[in-house]
Structure 1
Amino acid sequence: MAGKALHTKSIWKSNLLSDIRIARQAGFSALEMAGTKVWDYLEAGCTPETVKEALAQYDMRLISINDIAHVERTDDDNISRMLRETETLSAFAREVGCDCIQLVPLCALEGRPEEEVIELTAKNIRRICDIGARHGVRFQLEPVAWSPIHSLRAAKLLIDAVGRDNFGTVIDFWHLWYGAETTPDDVRALDPSLIYHIHFCDGRRNAPGTVCDETVLRGCYAGEGDIPLAEWVQAVKDTGYDGWWSYELVSAKHWQADTATVAAETSRLLDCYVFDKA
């Protein structure tokens, strides 16, 4: 059954336990937790048990941790770092009842042939997936707009190359729209079993010759940007996907606003655009 979640990058300046309360009070049933908030929490010596208690208190679910980044890197130091992060976050996810962690390949392999980018990235992700499988954790790829793997087509190539049943993708409206190679029809044709979550968001593209600053370009509520949201929402629904929709507002401007106000507005907008509630 479709559900409504808050991606906690939308309220970046609050902490993990506060996010759980704020999201519930805004009308959400679940959260995708920014990975930095999990690391801050653990590095402060806090325990998963307290997170479990807070989730139970507010009748909330943690559906994903976002993210382990730079999973395309091939040097020994970064691979070791990546595998350590996977082990720690997978154990934490298991203990708090979360079954998904996001993976983000970025730009270390930029300029190489696509086949090589896919092969090298898949090799790393197979190792990640094998660690997660021991903890009952799956992994969702986020194709990032400015990276070599920025389209749904490339995402499918990577999923096939990884060949693990605990690896799929998230549909992030802004990243796929900004990347300019993926259309709503491409989404509509995707096997829904490969879609783990939806990142609902609006935004713009930067003018030619200017810097792509995600925290500015995504600094608008749904309906204020340039993405044809109704088309993207319908395309997802046409796949038969019936899982969680997360509102992700990556906006430096909104991070300085009242977190409760931002959470409430994103909840309202998800109701309007996805769940047909006025």
Structure 2
Amino acid sequence: MQKALHGISTHYCNIVTDARIAKETGYDSLELLSSKLVRYLDNGGTTQKLKKISDSYGLSVGCVNALLEIERYQGEAKQTMLKEATRLTRAAAELECPTVQILALDGIDDKPDETVMDIITENVDAIAKIGQEYGVRYQIEVIAFTKFRTLEQGLEVIRRVGRDNVGMVIDFWHLYASGSKPEDIARLDKNLIYGVHFCDGRLPKPGEAWDQMVLRNYMPGEGEIDIQAWTDAVKATGYDGLWSAELFSPNRWEYDLYEIATECRENMTRYTG
């Protein structure tokens, strides 16, 4: 098992400082936020410099998170999406990072369910072809408040695409909020699990909006999810890869980020061993 510091847990921190925090608070790896990575590269940073930094700290780069809005499927919008995919994939390869996360938002939520699946399948296939050129794979994250939201949909896209560089990330909150249960996770083929997002939260109350800033503002163990049951379910598959401490918490983002990184790692260790 590799324990990664997720870049969202230290939301206001730049990517170089994320690496130092991860080293000094006991992590093995980094899950880089794509927004931080792109900002770093757009302002004079290079993947070579970043890799030298992570190597000097003894850290791997486990995932680049994420290529957003993979539902863009028409004309210039799709070409822009594929250019973004290529840029992140190339950067991941240069960082010797095996995995880029991909996810759809709500851009095609007005379409029938089968159309949604067709569009996502076509786009994931196109993205996967890029990854094959660079030796990079992709983990699909299903987003609980969109039409492409369930574990079953993610697995069906993987089946339809039929390439060996597409899998799933087991995000505790998104999968819990879209109706999955620990026993569903325990039945998965471990080879389809590319990462774990160790996180908590709750469902919206009647009439409440799907606002992640509110619904996910919890350290694991503070929300509705049975964290130990979900942890045990992942371990039951035999998966032993990257576990990423993801804290989506506007409240704690205002704390000392070293303290937060330490608390996230210690909390994850308490459940995972």
What TM-score bracket applies, with the shorter chain setting the length? Answer: over 0.9
- What amino acid is aligned across from residue 14 of structure 2 in structure 1? N
Distance 1:228 1:273 in 2: 11
- What amino acid is aligned across from residue 205 of structure 2 in structure 1? A
Counterparts of residues 75-90 of structure 1 (less than 5 Å)? 75-90=74-89
Output one character per residue of 1:209-254: Cα deviation in whole Å (capped at 9) or x when no partner: 1122102211111211110111111111111111111011111111
Q: CA deviation at 1:176?
A: 0.5
User: Secondary structure of the equivalent of 2:239?
Assistant: coil
Query: Which residue does the alignment assign to 2:34?
Result: 35
Q: 246-255 or 113-122: which moved more?
A: 113-122
Query: Which residue does the alignment assign to 1:174?
Result: 173
- What amino acid is aligned across from residue 219 of structure 1 in structure 2? N
User: Secondary structure of the equivalent of 2:206?
Assistant: coil
- What amino acid is aligned across from residue 195 of structure 1 in structure 2? I
Q: TM-score, normalised by structure 2?
A: 0.97
Query: Which residue does the alignment assign to 1:161?
Result: 160
Q: TM-score, normalised by structure 1?
A: 0.96
Equivalent residues of 1:119, 1:161 under 8 A apart: no
Query: Which residue does the alignment assign to 1:188?
Result: 186
Q: CA deviation at 1:111?
A: 4.0
Distance 1:216 1:266 in 2: 19
User: Secondary structure of the equivalent of 1:270?
Assistant: helix
Query: Which residue does the alignment assign to 1:132?
Result: 131
Output one character per residue of 1:134-161: Cα deviation in whole Å (capped at 9) or x when no partner: 1111000001011112111111111111
Match 2:254 to one of 253, 256, 263: 256
Output one character per residue of 1:68-103: Cα deviation in whole Å (capped at 9) or x when no partner: 111112221221111111111111111111111000
Q: CA deviation at 1:114?
A: 2.4
Counterparts of residues 22-101 of structure 1 (less than 5 Å)? 22-101=21-100
Output one character per residue of 1:236-278: Cα deviation in whole Å (capped at 9) or x when no partner: 1111111111011111111111110100000100110111xxx
Distance 1:45 1:225 in 2: 40
- What amino acid is aligned across from residue 187 of structure 2 in structure 1? A
User: Secondary structure of the equivalent of 1:112?
Assistant: coil
Distance 1:255 1:211 in 2: 22
- What amino acid is aligned across from residue 113 of structure 2 in structure 1? E
User: Secondary structure of the equivalent of 2:82?
Assistant: helix
Distance 1:82 1:73 in 2: 7
Which 4+ runs in 1 deviate beyond 6 A?
Answer: none
Gaps in structure 2 of 5+ consecutive residues = none
Equivalent residues of 2:47, 2:95 under 8 A apart: yes
Counterparts of residues 116-155 of structure 1 (less than 5 Å)? 116-155=115-154
Distance 2:24 2:204 in 1: 35
| Number of residue pairs matched by the alignment | 273
Distance 1:166 1:107 in 2: 24
Distance 1:20 1:251 in 2: 20
Match 1:213 to one of 207, 211, 214: 211
Q: Are 1:233 and 2:210 matched, yes or no?
A: no
RMSD: 1.0
Q: 263-272 or 221-230: which moved more?
A: 221-230
User: Secondary structure of the equivalent of 1:119?
Assistant: helix
Counterparts of residues 193-204 of structure 1 (less than 5 Å)? 193-204=191-202
- What amino acid is aligned across from residue 162 of structure 1 in structure 2? V
